């Protein structure tokens, strides 16, 4: 997987890819239309952030590249790559329980807070994508 040079793009399979963790300075793309929604991405070495219609979707510290982001009613799946381990925060359904699988390994169940945020740490090595799947339990 390579970084997303155009910062955000639609893939042939109907998923979304975004972020470039190799940028030394902040870059952003705004008003990217996908699935009837408008997306905004801010990305560089220190942080990658995605918003949909002005609302929080994804954030990683340090910055990452996300490919094939697929959001469903029951969860989210994507591949992530970065130069070093990252803390990822996602906006999901508030006070819900999710099963988290990182790189094929079940990381257990996690609950979102009142705001619907779920945070997880992902061990990353540059140029090696890691699959993340988060599915609502119940």
Domains assigned to the chain: 8-136 (2.60.40)
Quick: pLDDT tens for 47-90. 999 999 999 999 999 999 999 999 998 999 999 999 999 999 99
Model pTM score? 0.95
- The contacts found for 101-110 with CB under 8 angstroms, 24 or more apart, are 101/131, 101/132, 101/133, 101/134, 101/135, 102/130, 102/131, 102/132, 103/130, 103/131, 103/132, 104/131, 109/137
């Amino acid at each position: 997987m390579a970084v997303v040079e155009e910062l955000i793009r639609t893939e042939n399979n109907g998923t979304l890819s975004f972020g470039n963790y190799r940028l030394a300075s902040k870059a952003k793309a705004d008003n990217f239309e996908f699935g009837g929604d408008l997306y905004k991405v801010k990305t560089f070495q220190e942080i990658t952030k995605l918003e949909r219609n002005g609302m929080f979707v994804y954030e990683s510290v340090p910055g990452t590249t996300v490919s094939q982001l697929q959001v469903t009613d029951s969860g989210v799946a994507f591949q992530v790559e970065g130069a070093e381990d990252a803390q990822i925060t996602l906006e999901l359904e508030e006070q819900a329980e999710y099963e988290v699988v990182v790189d094929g390994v079940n990381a257990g169940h996690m609950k979102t807070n009142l705001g619907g945020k779920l945070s997880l740490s992902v061990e990353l090595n540059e140029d090696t994508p890691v699959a993340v799947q988060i599915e609502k339990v119940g």
